Amino acid sequence: QPRIFSGIQPSGGLTLGNYLGAIRRFVDMQEENADRGIETLYCMVDQHAITVWQDPAALTRNTRELAAGYIAAGLDPNKSILFNQSQVAAHAQLAWIFNCVARMGWMQRMTQWKDKAGKNQQNASLGLFAYPALMAADILIYHATHVPVGEDQKQHVELTRDIAIKFNHDFGVDFFPVPEPVIEGAATRVMSLRDGARKMSKSDPSDMARINMTDDADAIASKIRKARTDPDALPSEAEGLAERPEARNLVNIYAALSDRSIAEVLTEVGGKQFSEFKPMLSELAVAKLAPISSEMARLMETPDEIDAILRNGADRARTIAAPVLKKTYEIVGMIGA
């Protein structure tokens, strides 16, 4: 039976990258599956967020804001199960078992670990190193089969597959499904506005590098106006963007926001200078994002309602997770759950 799971870290405000790379796909998958009895579970992964320091009050606010972003973008608590990771203890319980299945070498190869730990790995948290085992538990505690993510998370979903396969092999069972990453859509990798070689990220120290879902029209226009570009006009064919990462990124964002292909967009804007294209992009971004950000702001006025939605989602998630954890403990030989 297919089941869909994904999550986002409340480690800052939502970015356009999270929206185009992940949330829009979450909504599509909700709509494609709600009538087919296939469950979609979408989580705020606060336990992942704390693998790097989070101010406690900011974590609470960011978690609610992320939930508001999910709902404002079209996730419906009646169609999808929306909850906060730490509300369902089974994630951490299964993660411990997976910490004992996964190998150190697998974790050491993860590019996110290398990027986030940087040169000073000795000083990174143990949780940051073990992050992919918790992510495997997030997915497999629901026997999820499909995981919509942006391109940067592909390696972690592959590691989840390795953990499922090794667990099944070690214990001689066919218990955990081997899930598939679903990396689709026009913008699986939105890049920083300041550097076309880095992905747009909520934890980038420069706020000018990203468009936040809560940015107002002026902020969006100013960030796009100041976005790094090259001096040439836009090409009329996609090949002309091959060596121009910043130009490609802006065209790609335009294409994704307008639900068109890069080729179609270039037919319209090929030959234009950035001075002409950037205002077009700003106008489109504001038109698409303003309704979402104003709905987010409205939802944030009643945090109790957000919390109630998450509590209800967590109750439903626990019901699915409990028998999976019980069976896992049995397989491992634990007298538990």
Q: Which of 336, 311, 323 is nearest to 142 (CA)?
A: 323
Q: In this complex, which beta carbon is closest to ligand AQP, that of residue 6 or of residue 328?
A: 6
Half-sphere exposure of 33 (CA within 13 A, CB side): 22
Q: Closest separation between CB of residue 170 and ligand AQP, Å?
A: 28
To ligand AQP, the closest distance from the beta carbon of 157 in angstroms equals: 9
Nearer to ligand AQP by Cβ, of 54 and 328: the residue is 54
Return the residue of 108, 111, 203, 261 that touches ligand AQP, per CB under 6 A. 203
Bridge partners, 5 (sequence order): 41
Q: Which residues pair with 81 in a beta bridge?
A: 41
One symbol per residue from 102 to 141: x for binding ligand AQP (CB under 6 A), - otherwise; what is it?
----------------------------------------
- Site of tokens 């319209």: 268
Given a contact cutoff of 8 angstroms between Cβ atoms, the answer to whether 183 and 149 are in contact is yes
The yes or no reply on residue 214 touching ligand AQP (CB under 6 A) is no
- 9 lies in the site for ligand AQP, by CB under 6 A: yes
> Known binder of ligand: residue 313?
no
Instruction: Read off φ and ψ for residue 146, nearest 5 degrees.
Output: -135, 135
Q: Is 11 annotated as a binding residue?
A: yes
Q: Which is nearer to ligand AQP, 180 or 268 (CB)?
A: 180
SS3 content of the chain, % helix, strand, coil (to 5): 60, 5, 35
Q: Report whether 236 belongs to an annotated binding site.
A: no
Determine contact, residues 60/287, Cβ cutoff 8 Å.
no
Q: Are 254 and 284 in contact (CB under 8 A)?
A: yes
- Does position 152 interact with ligand AQP (CB under 6 A)? The reply is yes
Assigned token pair, 15: 């970015």
Closer to ligand AQP at the Cβ: 50 or 167?
Answer: 50
146 has which bridge partners? 4, 180
The residue from 94, 117, 200, 234 that contacts ligand AQP (CB under 6 A) is 200
Window 170-189: contact mask with ligand AQP (x via CB under 6 A): -----------------xxx
18 is a contact residue toward ligand AQP (CB under 6 A): yes
**CA 141, CA 268: separation in Å to the nearest integer?**
47
- According to CB under 6 A, which one of 91, 143, 202, 278 is a site residue for ligand AQP? 202
- Give the integer Cα–Cα distance in Å for 158 and 141: 16
Minimal distance in Å, beta carbon 76 to ligand AQP?
19
**Active-site amino acid positions:** 116, 199, 202
- DSSP element (H, E) containing 114: helix 111-117
Residue with tokens 């080729």: 263
230 annotated to a ligand binding site: no
Binding-site member from 47, 153, 249, 282 for ligand AQP (CB under 6 A): 153
Show the beta-strand stretches assigned E in the chain.
Answer: 4-8, 40-44, 81-84, 146-148, 180-182
- Whether 56 has a binding-site annotation, put simply, is no
Residue ranges in contact with ligand AQP by CB under 6 A: 8-9, 11-12, 15, 17-18, 21-22, 149-150, 152-153, 187-190, 199-203
Which parts are annotated binding residues?
Answer: 9-11, 17-18, 138, 150-152, 190, 199-203
